Structure 1
Amino acid sequence: MADKPGLVDWTGVPIRSRRELEREEAVPSVTGIQHRFDETVASGLTPARLASSLRDAAAGDMYDFLTLAEEMEERELHYRYVLETRKNGVTSLNVQVDPASENARDVEIADFLRNELVETPAFQQLPDMLVDGLAKGYSVVEMVWRTGNRWVPERFIWRDPRLFHFDRETRRAFRLRIQAEPDGRPLTPLKYLTHVPLLKMGLPARNGLARIAAWAFMFKSFSMRDWAQFLEVYGMPLRLGKYGPGSSKEDRAVLLAAVRRLGRDAAAIVPEGMNIEFVEPKGFSDRPFEGHARFIDEQMSKLIIGKPGDGTASSRAGEETLDKVRIDIKRSDTRDLQLTLMQQLIIPVVQLNFGPQVAYPKVHFPIPERKDLQVWSNAVTSLVDRGLEVEQSQVYDVLGLKEPAKGAKLLTAGQARAAPQVPVEKASAIGRAGARPSVDGDAPPGRGAMPSRYRLDPRVCPACGPARLQADGGEDQDEIDALVAAELDGWRPVMDPILQAVRAAAEDARDYDEFLASLDRLDGQLPVDGLARRIAVLNMIGRGRGDAGEE
């Protein structure tokens, strides 16, 4: 297929040749730079050297800073952990492709992106490559395209950020570092994805999290080194050698060597007249080192994940794994990643294969919202009862359920409420309130399954008790059954005033919290006298029959 004339990248630069898109570019044969980055900055890092590296980075020479940023992830455990937590907060989300509209053409374009790009193995690690820019300030990924009937990237290659630098004039445009070319070479159009997270306003070179964390990294490394030296001798008695006033220089050297040897092999000899004392340390503690290290870790956590500690704390029980990164930070990182993909990848791919469009599909990483389903369902039920129209698909989405397919076997309300049909003894624990149930064996039943002779009668319920008792036949009903049936028949007159008061409080409340407050105000004012009287009478009758030994 011939080159497509008139095509430009997302910045408006024209594409010169498809051959440039089909081959790798950031390789030693092109740049003249060998990909061996074994230099180190972290070893022997001092405040003066760190300040110099940061000044050079701000001026456009980011080589030393990027080397240090790489080493920080390799050397500092807590920094690596919270940084990976920040990245995983985005990369662990599922990518979603939404068509621009329900139009058949827009749906076709969305299906093409989903099948040819988003769901391919090559795309799966692309978000991980791009969010590397959170620490270093930017990330560059080279694309190797497949051209022909369809133009799509078939490979994404993460490139070391030290292969690139910013132009000298604006310090914003990326340049490929080329041997013997001080200002490098402009990037080939549609060849690279350049992700610059918007962590702060200003030059991209001053943007990365590693720039701020570098000072904490250096101070903590000082503290850890001193701590290690302290722990090497902590708790060991001080070996104090004493020599007489007439001791020669050679004798003192022998004594010093003996004192030092005691720390390694616990054996030494000294001249006669000299002695060695062991002084036990008192009042020493390593807490200042630990406190300093913990303080730096907390500040680093605040910087990277927006909260102190290791990110496992949560404001809600059971949400630790979902709440490690502050939600506003996660939304911001997701927005930046979506913007990069849409501008530099999705829109160009659509234009190359379908031409310019009025609207383009949306490729995004939706963040699942956590809801208290009990509170949410109660609120929705109350609003629907008041006439609010709610689309069923939205309810399915919140509950995480799929809409039922045609012909599928469905659960119904009757099935959900149906009680298991199990055999029960004639006597009921509720119906015989005062009677002592007989239990097989001498030991009382535990909190697990009840013995067969100590079960609640499923016939006794406010909604279906009387009908069930009548259906069972009158010959099986004794006086206790008749008493329960009579009371269940008359429960509504005493319960209606209570239910009306609660229902009125629910209808007047604007939200769930206001409803709870209304219930608190009703405490002590509900018309429960009639209900309490009937319960007391029934309990007294049942207790009397039980004490009389009636079965």
Structure 2
Amino acid sequence: MSRRHRKPRPTAFAEQPRKNLPAAATALIANARNDITIPFFSGVLQNSDDTLLSQGGGKGLKIYDEIERDTHAGAMLEKRKGALISREWKVEAGGDRPIDKAAAELVREMIGALPFDQVCKGLLDATLKGYAVSEVVWGRDGARIKPVKIKSIDQRRFVFDTEWRPRLLTWTAMSEGIELPERKFIVHRVGVKGENPYGLGLGSRLFWPVLFKREGITFWLHFLEKFAGPTIVGKSPIGSLPEEQRKLLTTLQGAVTSSAIVVPMGTDAEFLEASRSGSVTYEQFLNYWDRQISIATTGETLTTQVGESGGNRALGEVHMEMLDMLADGDGDLLSGTLTEQLLQWIVDYNLPGAAVPKIWRERPKNAQAEAATKKSQAEASEATARAIRTVVSEAARFEDDDVAREYILSFDITQSLSDKTIDALVEARRTFGTAPAAPDPFVTDDPTFAASWLKKKA
């Protein structure tokens, strides 16, 4: 008897008539050619990054290189890249056919022959700038064609046409660039929205915190200069000639590093000490922007707040989990780029028709978290087993098998059991009902039983 009543499915389905598909449904209507948000539309698309447009000043992406020169921003960007690069990469066949497995083995061999970590690090420059471009140099190895070198190229040398194909800017084609061959340039994009093939990286958000921090340091240095030595005020007699005043000024300027000076009689010199009040400091101002840089880059602030708040282990674990999540996202995007471009090209050149393998970097396992999970699962399984035993034991009171079965199935804990298992429980219910229950370790006449039970559990 089945414990569930299901509506029988037909053994065959009538052939459905072919649906009409409008021609407009097969093409992209909202494309780059009619996109009103693209500035200065021409034969190539323009970068729509507002920060570049308003602050680039002719430098373009060069302003984002200045972000990496900031010690804290550069360290945070390297930390985010390193969180992904430090993981082991794996290749998985795209299908079960022999040719699919052969393609995976071929890709694994060719990728292993490259400085793959360096290749990935170059492409991850898109995290800051929105996109990154690397050129593949192909070579022959017997009957095979393989990538022998992959070099990262400065993004400023490329523009993209309306089909998102890269074009190389040269001295003879400074605006629209020249057409490039297929299967030659890998383009990795981050933060793509709409018809913007240039993506949108962290540079658009990090530019302002780094700029404000740099300006704050300038004011701080000026302030420290004022505190390092007092300002000397020289008072010359009324009617002094300009030439005499200039000589006095030169003398007083030399007094900054001298232990003694000589001034004409009648000249008065005073020292003005810099003073300030209040609790806000330049250091607090700079630390604030460091925290904003950390939040924007890695989603954490522990590295800049340990000295202030002391930090703690729980906060560190939360921040590490956040960094792992960001690395997972970066890895998924990079995996998609490499699979769709580099791996696809390797298969096309060597094993056309094979399913394209997948490549990714796997998050290292957390042994402590896995152990805690397994322990929780074991405890849950043990509790479920006890509950099922209690239900089946109670079902032994019913003589009719159908009634006992209905009683057992009325509890949610048995919903995951198969019909065969339910049948066995119904048949053996009286055995469950007469079997002695497991003793309670804390309700017994033996005073040493509880202690021994706890020892075994430990």
C-alpha distance in 1 between matches for 2:197 and 2:58:
14
C-alpha distance in 2 between matches for 1:105 and 1:322:
43
The amino acid across from 1:334 in the alignment is G
C-alpha distance in 2 between matches for 1:304 and 1:311:
13
Give the match for residue 87 of structure 1. 81
Question: Could you say if the C-alpha distance between residues 215 and 249 of structure 1 is closer, same or farther in structure 2, counting changes exceeding 3 Å?
Answer: same
Give the match for residue 366 of structure 1. 362
> 3-state SS of the aligned residue for 1:141?
strand
The amino acid across from 1:375 in the alignment is A
CA contact (8 A) 1:139 1:194 kept: yes
CA apart distance, 1:276? 1.9
C-alpha distance in 1 between matches for 2:55 and 2:268:
58
C-alpha distance in 2 between matches for 1:69 and 1:228:
24
CA contact (8 A) 1:135 1:209 kept: yes
C-alpha distance in 2 between matches for 1:340 and 1:128:
13
The amino acid across from 1:363 in the alignment is I
> 3-state SS of the aligned residue for 1:363?
strand
CA RMSD of aligned residues (A): 3.7
The amino acid across from 1:54 in the alignment is L
For residues 199-214 of structure 1, what are the structure 2 equivalents within 5 Å?
203-205=196-198, 207-214=200-207
For the pair 1:146 / 2:139, whether they are aligned, the reply is yes
For residues 66-465 of structure 1, what are the structure 2 equivalents within 5 Å?
66-73=61-68, 75-100=69-94, 104-115=98-109, 117-147=110-140, 148-167=142-161, 169=162, 172-181=164-173, 182-198=175-191, 203-205=196-198, 207-245=200-238, 247-283=240-276, 288-310=281-303, 316=313, 323=320, 326-357=323-354, 359-370=355-366, 371-382=368-379
C-alpha distance in 2 between matches for 1:135 and 1:499:
60
CA contact (8 A) 2:299 2:319 kept: no
The amino acid across from 1:136 in the alignment is K
Q: Which runs of 5+ in 2 are unaligned?
A: 1-48, 386-443
CA apart distance, 1:303? 1.2
C-alpha distance in 1 between matches for 2:312 and 2:188:
32
> 3-state SS of the aligned residue for 1:270?
coil
1:287-331: CA deviations, max 9, x gaps?
Answer: 532222222221121111112353797874596798285333222
C-alpha distance in 2 between matches for 1:225 and 1:281:
17
CA contact (8 A) 2:230 2:273 kept: yes
1:178-215: CA deviations, max 9, x gaps?
Answer: 33233112331100110002366662436121122222
Aligned residues: 344
Q: Which runs of 5+ in 1 are unaligned?
A: 1-49, 389-490, 507-551
Question: Could you say if the C-alpha distance between residues 123 and 311 of structure 1 is closer, same or farther in structure 2, counting changes exceeding 3 Å?
Answer: farther
> 3-state SS of the aligned residue for 2:215?
helix
C-alpha distance in 2 between matches for 1:369 and 1:285:
50
For the pair 1:64 / 2:59, whether they are aligned, the reply is yes
> 3-state SS of the aligned residue for 1:190?
coil
C-alpha distance in 1 between matches for 2:282 and 2:316:
33
CA apart distance, 1:122? 3.5
Q: Which moved further from structure 2: 259-268 or 198-207?
A: 198-207
Give the match for residue 440 of structure 2. none
> 3-state SS of the aligned residue for 1:203?
coil
1:105-157: CA deviations, max 9, x gaps?
Answer: 44333222212x22113333211111011111111110011235112211111
Give the match for residue 9 of structure 1. none
Give the match for residue 417 of structure 2. none
Question: Could you say if the C-alpha distance between residues 251 and 198 of structure 1 is closer, same or farther in structure 2, counting changes exceeding 3 Å?
Answer: closer
Write 1 or 2 for the structure with the bigger share of strand. 2
Give the match for residue 418 of structure 2. none
CA apart distance, 1:80? 0.8
CA contact (8 A) 2:191 2:201 kept: no
C-alpha distance in 2 between matches for 1:77 and 1:502:
54
C-alpha distance in 1 between matches for 2:281 and 2:63:
27
C-alpha distance in 1 between matches for 2:271 and 2:305:
46
1:340-376: CA deviations, max 9, x gaps?
Answer: 011001123123222223x432211111243435523
C-alpha distance in 1 between matches for 2:380 and 2:317:
31
For residues 1-40 of structure 1, what are the structure 2 equivalents within 5 Å?
none
C-alpha distance in 1 between matches for 2:298 and 2:272:
47
CA contact (8 A) 1:132 1:139 kept: yes
C-alpha distance in 1 between matches for 2:277 and 2:193:
44
Give the match for residue 528 of structure 1. none
CA apart distance, 1:95? 0.3
> 3-state SS of the aligned residue for 2:182?
coil
Over the matched positions of the two proteins, sequence identity in percent amounts to 25
Question: Could you say if the C-alpha distance between residues 379 and 145 of structure 1 is closer, same or farther in structure 2, counting changes exceeding 3 Å?
Answer: same
The amino acid across from 2:362 in the alignment is P
CA apart distance, 1:94? 0.9
C-alpha distance in 1 between matches for 2:126 and 2:190:
7
CA apart distance, 1:164? 0.7
CA apart distance, 1:55? 4.5
Question: Could you say if the C-alpha distance between residues 322 and 281 of structure 1 is closer, same or farther in structure 2, counting changes exceeding 3 Å?
Answer: closer
- Rg comparison, structure with higher value: 1
> 3-state SS of the aligned residue for 2:91?
strand
> 3-state SS of the aligned residue for 1:142?
strand
C-alpha distance in 1 between matches for 2:98 and 2:305:
45
> 3-state SS of the aligned residue for 2:60?
helix
